Amino acid sequence: MKVFHELQPIYNKDSKVLILGSIPSVKSREENFYYAHPKNRFWMTLSRVYNEEILNTKEDKIKFLNRHNIALFDVIKSCEINSSKDSSIKNVVPNDLTPILKHSNIKAIFTTGKKTHELYQKYIFKKTNINSILLPSTSGANTPKGIEEKLFESYKIIKEYTDN
C-alpha cells in the first residue's frame, strides 16, 4: 500500500537533537501523531530518560520535546509498506530535513531502529553530511526480555546533547 507522510515535524529554533523514525505506523496515522501505538515504548522511554511522568496527551508530548530541545520527524515522505512493517518498505521518497536543520540548532541526529538508520544513510546522509546515531527500535513488535532497560540505557545518550 502506498503511504504518504502527513505529520508535520516537531521542532523549534532551540532544538538540539533530531530523532527520526521511518514513517508513521498505521496507528500513528490514525491518531495523527508520532509513536501513537499503546505498545510502542518511545514516549515511556523518553519520559524515563528525563525522569518525568509518562506523557499522555499530544500537547504534553510536544511541550516535553520543546522543553528538552528535541526535534521529531521521519525519514520517509512516501513509500509502499504493508501495515506498519518496516521490513516491507520499498519505493522510498525521503523527507527533506533542510527546513529543520536551517531553523534549529541540531547537534546530533538519532535514528530509531536499523531500518530507519539504513534508510537515513541511503537517502539523506549525502544531503545533510551528519552521521546518525542508531538507537534501538521502540516498536511493540520489538519485545525481547529486558527491552525496557536496554531502551533506557541506549536512549540516555540523547541527554548528553540536550543538557548542554
Chain segment 47-80, per-residue pLDDT in tens: 999 999 989 999 999 999 999 999 999 999 999 9
Question: CA 51 to CA 152: how far, in whole Å?
Answer: 11
Assess whether pLDDT exceeds 70 at residue 145: no
More confident residue, 143 or 102: 102
H/E stretch holding 87: none
What per-residue confidence (pLDDT) applies to 147?
75
What per-residue confidence (pLDDT) applies to 83?
82
- End-to-end CA distance of the chain: give it in Å, rounded: 42
Q: What phi, psi does 157 have (nearest 5°)?
A: -60, -30
Q: What share of the chain is helix, strand, coil (3-state, %, to 5)?
A: 35, 20, 45
What per-residue confidence (pLDDT) applies to 114?
94
Across 107-114, average pLDDT: 96
Lowest-confidence segment of 30-44, 83-97, 141-155 by average pLDDT: 141-155
Lowest-confidence segment of 24-28, 45-49, 142-146 by average pLDDT: 142-146
Q: Which domains does the chain have, with CATH numbers?
A: 2-162 (3.40.470.10)
Mean pLDDT of the chain: 93
Cell 521518497 belongs to residue = 93
Helix/strand/coil for 25: coil
**pTM of this structure:** 0.94
